[in-house]
Amino acid sequence: MFISIYDFCSILSEIYMLICINFLLVYGVLFSTSLKKGYPNISLNLAWLCIQVSLISILILFFSSDFDIFIWNQLLTYNFFIYGIKLILLVSFIVWVLLSLFYATYEKLNSFEYWVLSLLAVVSMIFIVKSCDLLSMYLSIECQSLILYILASFKRTSEFSTESGLKYFILGAFSSALLLFGSSILYGLTGLTGFDDYMKLFSGLLLGDTVLNSGIIFGSLVICISLLFKISSAPFHVWSPDVYEGAPTSSTLFFSILPKLSILVLFLRFCFLGFQDFFYSWQKIIFFCTYLSIFVGTFGAFAQNKWKRFLAYSSINHVGFILLGFSTGELESIFSVIFYVLVYIILTFGVFAFLISLRYFYFPVHYQIRYIKDLISLFEINSTLTFSLTLLLFSMAGIPPLLGFFSKVFVLLIALQSNLYSLSFFSVIMSCITCFYYIRLIKLMYFDKTQSLMVTYPLNKLNSMLLSLFTVLSSFLFLDLELLLIFSTHISLLF
């Protein structure tokens, strides 16, 4: 196989990150037994080094040339759309590390492998985003999944963390088996693995052999189900609440954003590039999952009394709205999906910044809040923090004119343009119902009273700045939406 210079240039940032990961592992092993430079200092040092690696990778990305090519024997692809998604992944990872430093220190996640594994997971996500072949898709997803299982069960002293990792591993293995099964069906029927090859083959296949078409449709639907599991879409969401609750909160934040973004981009390429000619086949399962995700996410959140389970069902509801953009089957809908994902990232970081930062002091220790009832009378304890969470919750609920409102509007407009009236009407009704469980949290903070007020632990300065940033973005970014609109539109046009 002839490998051109463009093959290396297009994955230069990934090569750099992989080399750095090896050096970080050696650094961690050598100094982990040191009395002065060992735990917990080595863990914090590696966290900052991971940020440095990500920043330099962004610089490499900025100075790289523009490509629109298939690379590595057409296993991967690279264009400006992938350029934009890589930038989102790396920036999100940096923000995640900054938010997790405070949590990792006080929850004693002192193993240096935590940060190295998370950086390796980001590399695998970048390869997922670039995948345009069944082989590269499966290998990249498996690399990511194995790391996520470890991150879910990383807190070895907690039986909840061990349980969540085990559940995630068992159900994730089942999802991977479906992915491999669907891929083997497609390869067995066509002898091809590349998405671009499928697009060329299927353009004249619909009038051909009916049995062959049925097999291809079945194989593609099995792969779609596997990918829907990865983004925790109902009815394939059963792992999500338990894993969110049991995993360390920093790992939960990681699961909420980065893996979903990479799988969504792969899902876009698989459906819109490889199997666009079978649109009316995979559209049905997208319809079903959209209806059920919005329904389950809305009513499932009502029954929750724990924070992370509540956020899990809220995430399922947002996945339903993202799938609403998928269901149109139009390339124009990619813009609305990317815009919604960007807004979802901002709001999720904001809510988790609050959740990680708010700790109650109970002499001689302080602990992170777990239950929703811990918000009672928070306004009397910390009015500024309460106001920040209120704005974030209103934005997540889609209250105008906050940022979350516009993300839902753009998705609904695309659906209405495609004559999906019943699905749009259902989404609007469910969105109105969703407001009630967000308002319930606000009621607890402002109007409910308790006999004894808790003492909050002082907020970390870095987390406070990040919480303020995301609160301002969610509250006032609507004044200049072009900051997100231009970026979303530009990269979606080059999909």
pLDDT, tens digit, 9 for 90 and up, residues 22-56: 999 988 888 777 767 666 677 788 889 999 999 99
For residue 1, pLDDT over 60 is answered with no
Three-state SS for 26? helix
The gap between the terminal CA atoms of the chain, to the nearest Å, is 27
What does the radius of gyration of the chain's CA atoms come to, in whole angstroms? 22
What is the reported pLDDT for 295?
92
Would you say residue 234 has pLDDT above 50?
A: yes
Give the model confidence (pLDDT) of 367-421 as tens digits. Answer: 788 888 888 888 888 888 889 999 999 999 888 888 889 989 989 988 888 888 8
- Can you give the pLDDT at residue 207? 46
Model confidence at 6: pLDDT above 70: no
pLDDT tens-digit profile of 217-230?
Answer: 888 899 999 999 99
Contact 253, 368 (CB under 8 A): no
Q: 3-state class of 359 per DSSP?
A: strand
Residue 279: count other Cβ atoms within 10 Å of its Cβ. 14
Q: How far apart are CA 54 and CA 72, in angstroms?
A: 24
292-351, pLDDT tens digit by residue?
999 999 898 888 888 889 999 999 999 999 998 888 777 778 888 899 999 999 999 999
Stronger pLDDT, 73 or 4, i.e. the higher one? 73
What pLDDT is stored for residue 351 in this prediction?
92
SS3 71: strand
Site of tokens 């947002």: 318
Lowest-pLDDT range of 115-124, 136-145, 433-442: 433-442
Q: Quote the pLDDT of residue 327.
A: 80
- Quickly list DSSP for 426-447: HHHHHHHHHHHHHHHHHHHHHT
- Mean of the pLDDT values across residues 162-178? 89
Higher per-residue pLDDT: 212 or 119: 119
| pLDDT above 90 (res 155) | no
* Residues 6 or more apart whose Cβ sits within 8 Å of residue 213: 205, 206
Predicted confidence band of residue 273 (pLDDT cuts 50, 70, 90): confident
pLDDT at 49: 92
Show the tokens assigned to 310: 């509540």
CA 450 to chain CA centroid, nearest Å: 36
Q: Could you give the CA distance from residue 370 to residue 159 in angstroms, rounded to a whole number?
A: 16
Closest CA to 14 of 86, 117, 106: 86
Three-state DSSP state, 40: coil
What is the number of other CB atoms lying within 10 angstroms of the CB of residue 306?
16
pLDDT tens track for 421-452: 888 899 999 988 888 888 888 888 888 887 77
Provide CB contacts within 8 A for 88, sequence distance 6+. 261, 342, 345
pLDDT of residue 494: 67
CA pair distance 282, 271, nearest whole angstrom: 8
Angle in degrees, CA 136, 252, 130, rounded to 5: 20
Tokens at 262, concatenated: 């990479």
Give dist(CA 99, CA 381) in Å, integer. 23
Instruction: Supply 492's token pair.
Output: 């979606």
Query: Is 153 in contact with 242 (CB distance < 8 Å)?
Result: no
Tokens 């990680």 belong to residue: 356
Determine the pLDDT at residue 2. 42
- Give the pLDDT band (50/70/90) at residue 4: low
Specify the DSSP class assigned to residue 452: S
Max intra-chain CA distance, the chain: 74
What value does the mean pLDDT of the chain take? 86
Confidence of residue 215 (pLDDT cuts 50, 70, 90): confident
Distance of CA 297 to the CA centre of its chain: 16
Q: How many CB atoms lie within 10 A of CB 452?
A: 5
> Band of the pLDDT at 495, cuts 50, 70, 90?
low
pLDDT score, position 38: 62
Q: What percentage of residues in the chain have a pLDDT greater than 70?
A: 94
Q: Which range (61-70, 113-122, 249-258, 401-410) has the least confidence?
A: 61-70
